[in-house]
Amino acid sequence: MPQVCTPDFSAGCAEGVRSGPWFHPDIWGQPVPLTVKRRRLDPGATDRIALRGRENFAYVIAGSGAAAASPATQGERLALGTESVLWLTGCDQMSAHAGPDGLDLLVAEATGRDPDVPPFPVRMVLTAAELPHLVSTRDTRDRLDLVTDDVPVGARAVRADRIIYHPGDTAAPHYHTDCHHVFCVLAGSGLLYAGGAAHRLDAGDSALVGPGEEHPFENDTSEEFSFVEFWAPPPAETVWTVAGDRCTWAPAG
């Protein structure tokens, strides 16, 4: 059965900053090597975020600003814009400063793979224009790759993308053999079909699907339904359960 949670993002951790855990393995007692937080900064606010993952990244849901990481590089200041990705390894803290339109961040920390090999420090920002942008060949879905084999950050412990389901869009039934699948809903409302039932997901919700659990989606509303999906660890195999029906993608534009 999938597990669904509606997190509270109202905790104040610094002046002008509200936060909360979007996904944490302790919520359901599952061995998922991933933690996801949401940090919402008012215009001009600064947030310092501890990082405990082997591979960490921040996805800008909305707004703009700048970031730096610790241990710091002299003069380092990385510009953040809507739908950009800040990739960090070998860093124990990041600081984010919101621009005049505020900053809404998803921060993911992946703890799996090669625990005895220390990661070397990497700091990189990829803008939305630099990330792979794909469209479904099955319906009208829109996908932005955040951490995949086609995003040049060398990720090994996690995969992630942002996906938009337009009204009426659906995913082909499928499952992953060897990984946990985590969903953090950005906007709208849609249905997750798993465990023999339909589960409503709304903006702000998170959901967890286990290895081998079939999980198609449907946008049954008149608005866009979007979420960031994570695979932790990255799947070795995806199985499509209806003959001749699978999700395939092509470059946008």
Per-residue pLDDT tens digits for 13-52: 899 999 999 999 887 787 899 999 999 999 999 999 999 9
Same CATH topology for 3-130 and 133-251: the answer is: yes
Per DSSP bridges, beta strands 189-194 and 159-165 are unpaired
The CATH fold of domain 133-251: Jelly Rolls (2.60.120)
Those residues with Cβ within 8 angstroms of residue 31's Cβ, 6 or more apart along the chain or in another chain: 25
- Is-contact 230 34, C-beta < 8 A? yes
Confidence of residue 73 (pLDDT cuts 50, 70, 90): low
Q: Can you say whether the dihedral through the CA atoms of 152, 156, 162, 165 is positive or negative?
A: positive
User: What does pTM read for this prediction?
Assistant: 0.95
- CATH for the stretch 3-130: 2.60.120.10
List pLDDT tens digits, range 104-155. Answer: 999 999 988 776 776 778 899 999 999 999 999 999 999 999 999 999 998 9
Q: Per-domain residue ranges for the chain?
A: 3-130, 133-251
